[in-house]
Chain A
Amino acid sequence: MDLALLENILFATVRTGTPLLLVALGAMISERSGVLNLGQEGMILVGAACAFIAAYSADSLMLGVVIGALAGALVSLIFAFVALTLISNQVATGLALTIFGTGLSAFLGAEYVGQSIEGMTRVELPLLHKIPLIGPALFGQDLMVYLGLTLFALVFWTMRSTRLGLIIRAVGENPQVAHALGYKVLLVRYAAVLFGGAMAGLAGAYLSLSYTPMWAEGISAGRGWIALALVVFASWRTERILMGAWLFGFASILHLLLQGFGYDVPSNLLAMLPYAVTIVVLVFMMSRKGAKGLFAPRSLGQPYHPPQ
């Protein structure tokens, strides 16, 4: 394997990992605050459809990105209202959101199937993109990839060394205590869910504006579910989410590469790699007594009844 090929593989890995990174960061924040939102797939799709429609109609990719994020946040607001204010079952509400989002995006985008736009172009950062091996992968991508990396840094810093990060974690670990300390549990959870929705919307915008600049129903093809698995795989740690996104991204293109080089590996086997790894991690986490508590936010998925 020569250098150019490796560079290309790394480039493709980062690109494939970007939508996973965006969704997983949002889902992680929402789960850290104690809310399990299984509606990621639906939010990505609505984000992708709205982003494409906006970019197509207004001929502006930037507007598309903004609208995509807003649309994602808007549908997550429905989830937040039902799951947090009406205190419904989060799992059921999340699944319903996925179904709703899939249908809504198909309805909104129906007129736009078969239309094409000029997708995002690569922006090479001066000098940096010439670094051998990792240069093109990290500094020769389009703006959405940079945005993903920036948001990663932001989330990493927030969760690690800010008061806000501590509050989010406190709310996710023990909402009663957080409430007793004077924090507004519902407000924090609402914000976390909306952030998650916006991130999923961004991932959708990335798919329909940059990765494959078009709208087709079901364009996300299960990436929302992979991202949810990724959060578990990363055991809710930001830095592991970045590594995991690249790893999952690499796993999902690995079988394409191997086939091309004539290795006779069953491609179905490789295609299921991300899921298999997640199951292994889950088994590992659950099998050690009490280990679950070390990783998962303690009140994850549990309804919170604010004291009257």
Chain B
Amino acid sequence: MKLTPLLALTAALLGWSLASQADDKPLKVGFVYVSPIGDAGWTYMHDRARKIVEEEFGDKIETNYVESVAEGADSERVIRNLSARGYDLIFTTSFGYMNPTLKVARRFPQVKYEHATGYKTARNVGNYQARAYQARYLAGMTAGAMSSTNQIGYVAAFPIPEVIRGINAFTLGAQATNPNVKVKVVWINTWHDPAKEREAADSLILQNVDVLTMHTDSPAVIQAAEARGVYSVGFNSDMSHYGPKSHLTAAVMHWESIYRDKIQAVLDGTWEPKAIWHGLKEGVVDVAPFNEAVPEWVVEKVNTVKMQIINGEHAVFEGPIYNQAGELMVKEGEQLSDEELIELEWYVKGIDG
């Protein structure tokens, strides 16, 4: 976007002017976002978490954010600016900020950095991720149980490991409650184009799909499902008010649990650069409250599996798992390691797309 540098600059200036008024030296926490906070998806949830921790910590911390920062050179400048303005802890919330964060971090050893969704750490750089796939699995279980045509539609943005992981987990979950179910994937090549998301959803409904979900940013897919009278499963946040009848549940993200821990650790002086990948157990991901259309047995089953995942008795990617061609990829009794999950690029059996 052409306006990004402008917005980034204004926001950085705003951040600076607000920051310079502080007297009692609270911990200064900065956030760098890839999209506008009004995107209703990824960044929206990060910013919601920021507001929650700001509320909780009161005057012990002071937070600020810069939105719509393009990955690459732009982000390096923004991160450097924040560092130079005396921020103590900086969260960079997009995959493409990884190298810029590391580069700036070398120059500002006294500042602590936390990068989301990457895989590198340094002396003063930690990284954090959410096991969204665990919530996807539970959401998939619900979807599978509710499908009577045995066809589920999935509107997806880009075929990168994180999205593929979600599709696979969702499909495995759906198959756990409905062995015959197929998941049809439509790629739209954008994170945020409500109209296109809606068209993709409509085109899937035309093909006999009766439950829809998505890995894109807006609730347009939920609206499409509501309008056409089929079920849907949300993502990022509880989207039930967009589809009171259609929205079964959602795979939701609660970044505040990570932000709370990290900020507390810095306040206590116990912060260490770690790579964390939190999920259901830590409360970073969860499923939203169920629609009343979901029968009791499904809710019970989902909750049972949720407890099993939390207790470590059940893993989402637990063998036997077959790929699309029917080859055995994970043997019975084995499961995919975190390293394999991070690089996951094949689809499980039952996925069309």
Contact = CB atoms under 8 A, between A and B. Distances in A.
B38 interface: yes
Contacts of B200: 256
A212 interface: yes
Contacts, number: 110
A57 to B, nearest CB: 17
Given A99-B2, A113-B40, A259-B186, A221 B203 contact: no
Contact of B242 (A16, A116, A262, A268): A116
A211 B36 contact: no
A5 B206 contact: yes
Interface in B183-213: 184-190, 192-200, 202-204, 206-207
A12 interface: yes
Interface string A6-33: 0010001000100100000000000000
Nearest to B206: A8
Contacts of B194: 207, 211-212, 214, 216, 219, 221
Contacts of B241: 116
A105 to B, nearest CB: 9
B228 to A, nearest CB: 11
A218 interface: yes
A253 B185 CA distance: 15
Nearest to B36: A217
A25 B152 CA distance: 39
A109 B44 CA distance: 14
B189 A214 contact: no
A170 to B, nearest CB: 35
A100 to B, nearest CB: 9
Give the interface SS of chain A, mostly helix, strand, loop or mixed: helix
B184 A253 contact: no
A216 B192 contact: yes
B204 A260 contact: yes
A266 to B, nearest CB: 10
Nearest to A8: B206
B3 interface: yes
A272 B227 CA distance: 29
Interface in B33-47: 35-40, 44
Contacts of A214: 40, 194, 218-220, 223, 242
Interface in A133-152: none
B195 A12 contact: no
B7 interface: yes
Given A221-B194, A256-B199, A256-B203, A216 B38 contact: yes
B154 to A, nearest CB: 11
Contacts of A102: 1, 3
A218 B242 contact: no
Nearest to B155: A256
A12 to B, nearest CB: 6
Contacts of A219: 194-195
B206 A16 contact: no
B133 to A, nearest CB: 23
B184 A213 contact: no
B239 to A, nearest CB: 9
Given A116-B219, A214-B218, A216-B192, 17 more contacts: A5-B206, A102-B1, A113-B38, A114-B44, A207-B194, A211-B198, A212-B194, A212-B195, A214-B219, A216-B38, A216-B217, A221-B192, A256-B196, A259-B353, A260-B184, A260-B207, A268-B189
28 contacts: A8-B202, A8-B206, A12-B199, A16-B199, A99-B6, A106-B36, A110-B38, A113-B40, A114-B44, A116-B219, A119-B227, A212-B218, A214-B223, A214-B242, A216-B39, A216-B218, A217-B36, A218-B36, A218-B192, A252-B196, A253-B203, A256-B196, A256-B199, A259-B187, A260-B184, A260-B203, A260-B204, A267-B187
Interface of A: 5, 8, 12, 16, 19, 95, 98-99, 102-103, 106, 109-110, 113-114, 116, 119, 207, 211-219, 221-223, 252-253, 256-257, 259-262, 267-268, 271
